[in-house]
Chains A and B, each alone.
Chain A
Amino acid sequence: MHLKINKIACLWVGFLSIFVCTSCQCAFSKDKQYSKTYFEYFDTIITIIGYEKQEAAFIEKTTQIEKLLQEYNQLYDIYYAYQGINNLYTVNQQAGKQPVKVDQKIIDLIVYAKDMYEKSHQMMNIAMGPVLALWHQARSFAMDYPEQASIPTMQDLEQANLYTNINNIIIDEVNQTLFLKEEGMSIDVGAIAKGFATEEIAKYLMQAGEIPYVINAGGNIRVLGLKPDGSQWNVGIQNPDLLSSQSQIEIVSIRNLAVVTSGSYQRYFTVAGKQYHHIISPVTLMPSDTFVSVTVVSPHSGMADALSTALFNLSIEEGMALIAKLEQTEAMWIDANYQIHYSTHFQDYQYQGGKYE
């Protein structure tokens, strides 16, 4: 008899714990959202968002991510030298002089960038350093002395453009060296390094499987997996009209993809009332004025980054043809009249209430 009542008690305990647990939706084992922000890498704000049951797991991953960020930031830096390492600054300094032994991570980036040069109809060229440097100087000067701001002369730009042949970047994979054949050449990886490094961080995170994480490198978004509730990540795309009350002009609902938006509103300076932004056409050597914003959704963050720049420099038709050849890759253009154009299958990524599936 005594035994029997104990059995009933056990049953009750079991039943009640199930009841309590479901009524509170298992609050004790629920994934919580954590985030960490870095200000010191790639000249931008980088935020990692992740869902974990334990904070320790998040801290462990972000500690490793910070190490990677630090490393990639130093290796891909074109403006500063760091003690004890050869980075892209070193390579640029040795242009026309000698090959420089570099880390495999630099070789990987340059190989990828050369491939993207071909894939992008030659519209994303990391050898454009000399031209971009003139624009960079003009923009920096304009920030300090807005009254005396001016744009580079066409003569200077054309002179600089003589040293932008990407085939003169010599990669020696066996000896792990990089060599710029001509003096006056320089590499500028501004259109690809951030995206490429973001993808490397995504690769690190994916070692743990399809975990619900997002990397936001200054608006370069890379999402992993699905959120714990099983829904996709909703990524808002910045409205290029910054004065509008609606901050996002579009929402994409995605998993395991990268979203990169290049906008003329992001970095620019003003001369005589006209705005000059940071995306320079390899053809005209001037800022491309066809679009105010181009967004690329792609499985690889480096590709999304490079293509968002390249598409800025191409017509809609050329851009559409380019996108059509790439798997799972779609684009959205906003032209100077704020008209929106979509690539053929962009709608597959558009938010349609998929959150509640």
Chain B
Amino acid sequence: MIRKYKKDIIFIVAILGVALLLFIVFQLTKKPGKYVVITQNGKEIAKYELNEDRQVSIPYQEGKYNVLVIRDQKAYISTATCPDQLCVKQRSISKVNETLVCLPNKMVVKVIGDEPPHVDIMSGKS
């Protein structure tokens, strides 16, 4: 029985191995972030350093809010008024480009590496 499916099993194990290896490599090459940027409705409203522990309430309209916690270089949402609570259930973020999203409150927390604003190009320098 086992012999019959030996090739399949080897195949599956090999794939799993490769996937695991790739996953580890990509996890290791992810850059740890320096700041989190909070945007609401697309507008940047705040920016905090990841290496300063803090707890901030981010107000939205009519008594709605999210509470952002930064602890040990990681950021997560501890409490929120939104009905789905998806943002609270999300894993904490710490690497560049990772995000916490709360759709009902139109809020995005994103980890960035360098301090914004990032300038692509300069005008007037000849």
A residues adjacent to B (C-beta < 8 A) = 2, 5-6, 9, 12-13, 16, 19-20, 23-25, 44, 49, 214, 216, 218-221, 223, 227, 233-238, 240, 247-248, 251, 259-263, 266-267, 293, 295, 351-357
Contacts and interface: CB of A to CB of B under 8 A. Distances in A.
B19 A248 contact: no
Interface string B36-64: 01010011110000000000000000000
Contacts of B122: 219, 221, 235-238, 247-248
Interface residues of B, number: 32
Given A24-B22, A352-B43, A16 B15 contact: yes
Contacts of A236: 119, 121-123
Nearest 6 A-B pairs (CB), nearest first?
A353-B44, A261-B124, A238-B124, A357-B42, A236-B119, A24-B26
Given A9-B11, A23-B26, A251-B117, A357 B124 contact: no
Contact of A234 (B8, B11, B117, B125): B117
B44 A16 contact: no
Interface string B110-126: 10000011111111111
Please report whether the interface of chain A is mostly helix, strand, loop or mixed according to DSSP.
mixed
Given A12-B12, A352-B44, A238 B125 contact: yes
**Counting chain A CB atoms within 10 Å of each CB, which of B16, B23, B117, B118 scores highest?**
B117
Contact of B124 (A19, A227, A295): A295
Given A214-B120, A219-B124, A233-B120, A5 B5 contact: yes
A9 B22 CA distance: 19
Given A2-B5, A20-B22, A356-B37, A44 B124 contact: no
12 contacts: A2-B5, A12-B12, A12-B16, A219-B124, A234-B120, A236-B123, A238-B122, A352-B44, A353-B43, A353-B44, A353-B45, A353-B117
B27 to A, nearest CB: 8
Contacts of A12: 12, 15-16
Contacts of B22: 20, 23-24
Given A12-B15, A24-B22, A2 B120 contact: no
A219 B23 CA distance: 43
A102 B120 CA distance: 38
Contacts of A227: 120
B80 interface: no
Given A233-B120, A233-B121, A351-B117, A357 B39 contact: yes
Interface string B4-20: 11001001100110010
Given A2-B4, A5-B5, A235-B123, A356 B15 contact: no
A355 B121 contact: no
A144 to B, nearest CB: 20
B94 to A, nearest CB: 16
A141 to B, nearest CB: 21
B123 A260 contact: yes
Contacts of B26: 23-24
Contact of A261 (B42, B97, B118, B123): B123
Contact of B121 (A20, A235, A262, A356): A235
Contacts of A219: 122-126
B124 A237 contact: yes
